């Protein structure tokens, strides 16, 4: 019985692997990562350049933490993560690294990003109730919506973990009415992304 169960699991995993291979999921992920690598490398290079040639980045981040309230900074980040991820999360992670309680504020940033994804999901749901907006968004996000229908949970996992706009994935999930509880579960991987990035960014700043 155990061998039979293992065999079924293997065959199911093999079928999933074949499906994602045939539908181009792996190519999509590889292409998205390649696109994201350049902005990330530019961001890292900019940090080093600013720190070396322009001003002391450590002092700047400390000044920001002393000048602006954490609630205000977290509020700006939450708004950004709810509206297509306008501001790079790495800037806020760097800020958390210079705060009095780095892990605490990093966790709040991850939670704000996660909650922003939920807001984006319901924006997607709301869009479907406004025919004119729905038609326009559906046209502009046709490829993303198609991919979300095709790959579902795996695309949400990729959006949560990799530098792919999580808000876009969340909106698409809302538009196709992806099961909300499953979305919440997969979205928790957003925390993993923030902690993993912090391991590098905290060392840099």
Q: Is 73 within 8 Å of 98 (Cβ atoms)?
A: no
pLDDT at residue 200, as a whole number: 84
The pTM of this model reads 0.76
Which of these, 189, 175, 183, lies nearest to 145 by C-alpha position? Answer: 175
Mean pLDDT by 10 residues, the chain (205 residues): 53 77 79 70 69 63 76 92 82 87 95 96 88 73 78 84 83 90 94 92 76
pLDDT at residue 184, as a whole number: 95
pLDDT at residue 82, as a whole number: 92
Which of these, 161, 162, 184, 164, lies nearest to 173 by C-alpha position? Answer: 184
| Per-residue tokens: 26 | 């792996």
Q: In angstroms, rounded to a whole number, what is the distance separating the alpha carbons of residues 23 and 25?
A: 6
Residues 6+ apart with CB under 8 A from 200: none
pLDDT at residue 52, as a whole number: 65
pLDDT at residue 191, as a whole number: 96
């Amino acid at each position: 019985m155990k061998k039979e169960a293992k065999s079924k699991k293997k065959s199911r995993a093999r079928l999933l692997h074949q499906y994602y291979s045939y539908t181009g999921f792996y190519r999509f992920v590889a292409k998205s990562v390649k696109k994201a690598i350049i902005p990330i490398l530019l961001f890292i290079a900019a940090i080093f350049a600013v720190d070396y040639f322009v001003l002391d980045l450590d002092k700047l981040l400390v000044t920001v933490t002393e000048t602006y309230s954490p609630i205000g900074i977290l509020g700006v980040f939450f708004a950004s993560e709810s509206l297509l991820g306008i501001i790079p999360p790495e800037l806020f992670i760097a800020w958390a690294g210079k705060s009095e309680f780095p892990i605490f504020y990093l966790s709040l940033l991850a939670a704000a990003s996660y909650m922003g994804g939920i807001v984006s999901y319901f924006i997607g749901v709301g869009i479907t109730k406004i025919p004119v907006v729905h038609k326009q968004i559906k046209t502009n996000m046709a490829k993303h919506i198609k991919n979300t229908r095709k790959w579902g949970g795996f695309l949400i996992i990729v959006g949560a973990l990799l530098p792919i706009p999580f808000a876009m994935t969340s909106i698409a999930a809302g538009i196709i009415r992806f099961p909300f509880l499953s979305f919440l579960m997969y979205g928790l991987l957003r925390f993993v992304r923030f902690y993993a990035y912090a391991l590098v960014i905290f060392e840099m700043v």
